[in-house]
């Protein structure tokens, strides 16, 4: 029996893909959002359908408000049983405070904060009982001046998570996951990830499966809302 349809933004690659596959193995049908990864989206759909679940892909540019506002209604018209939204898609761009220009700032906030805000709002308009999980970052504890605007977006999304949990209870639970060093940045290397991880208390990088376990905990524990799980090897402590 299906657990309903889960929406995963940025679901074709990296952590998003791992979450989508885990949800399929747990009995969820999938609505996968992507932007430019058409080939990866079609490959993932084939894999998900091979697992015996229904799966659809939806293209949207989350930097554009029209695309954001159309996404949930598009999915809802195809899938009447939406039960879970995972706001995973984000941009992670290095830029110091003094280097930041308005266009860069607006793009970071559009994708990392405005999109999950309005996707969550629209989800709550259609779904009376369900869950929202936001992918945050361990940087919400201290920020990172090298990723100045990015850090601000994730800190704001943390506070949004807590506010939305209060607003949408008891029908919709809202939680977050704060990953640490799990994968190299898209333009980084495995050796850079290993070097970075040596500086955190546990001394090693994590794995997407550990984010999957956090997601499953939040889905299964119906007495948790407004929480943010740090899956970061202790990075928040330094």
* Lookup: tokens for 190: 């495995």
Is a pLDDT exceeding 60 seen at residue 1? no
Residue 3: predicted pLDDT: 84
**CATH topology assigned to domain 5-237:** Rossmann fold (3.40.50)
Three-state SS annotation for 182-207: CCCCCCCCHHHHHHHHCCCCCCCCCC
Run of H or E residues at 58: strand 55-59
pTM: 0.94
Closest CA to 161 of 90, 50, 86: 86
φ/ψ bin of 2: left (φ > 0), alpha (ψ from -120 to 50), beta (otherwise): beta
Provide the mean pLDDT of the chain: 95
pLDDT in tens, 17-60: 999 999 999 999 999 999 999 999 999 999 999 999 999 999 99
SS3 39: helix
- The ranges assigned to domains in the chain are 5-237
156-165, 209-218, 229-238: least confident range? 229-238
Higher pLDDT, 17 or 141: 17
Determine the average pLDDT of the residues in 128-157: 93
Owner of token pair 């640490």:
180
Is a pLDDT exceeding 90 seen at residue 99? yes
């Amino acid at each position: 029996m299906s657990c309903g349809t889960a929406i995963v933004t940025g679901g074709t690659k990296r952590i998003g893909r791992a979450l989508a596959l885990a949800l399929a193995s747990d009995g969820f049908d999938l609505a996968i959002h992507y932007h430019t990864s058409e080939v990866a989206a079609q490959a993932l759909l084939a894999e998900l359908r091979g697992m015996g679940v229904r799966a659809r892909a939806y293209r949207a540019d989350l930097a554009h408000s029209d695309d954001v506002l159309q996404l949930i209604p598009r999915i809802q018209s195809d899938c009447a049983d939406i039960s879970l939204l995972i706001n995973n898609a984000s941009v992670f761009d290095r830029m110091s405070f003094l280097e930041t220009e308005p266009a860069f700032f607006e793009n970071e906030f559009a994708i990392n904060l405005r999109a999950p805000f309005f996707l969550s709002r629209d989800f709550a308009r259609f779904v009376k009982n369900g869950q929202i999980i936001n992918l945050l970052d361990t940087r919400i504890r201290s920020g990172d001046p090298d990723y100045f605007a990015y850090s601000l977006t994730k800190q704001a999304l943390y506070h949004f998570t807590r506010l939305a949990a209060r607003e949408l209870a008891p029908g919709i639970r809202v939680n977050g996951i704060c990953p640490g060093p799990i994968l190299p940045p898209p333009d980084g290397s495995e050796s850079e990830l290993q070097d970075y991880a040596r500086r955190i208390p546990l001394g090693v990088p994590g794995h997407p499966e550990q984010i999957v376990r956090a997601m499953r905990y939040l889905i299964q524990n119906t007495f948790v809302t407004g929480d943010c799980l740090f899956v970061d090897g202790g990075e928040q402590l330094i």
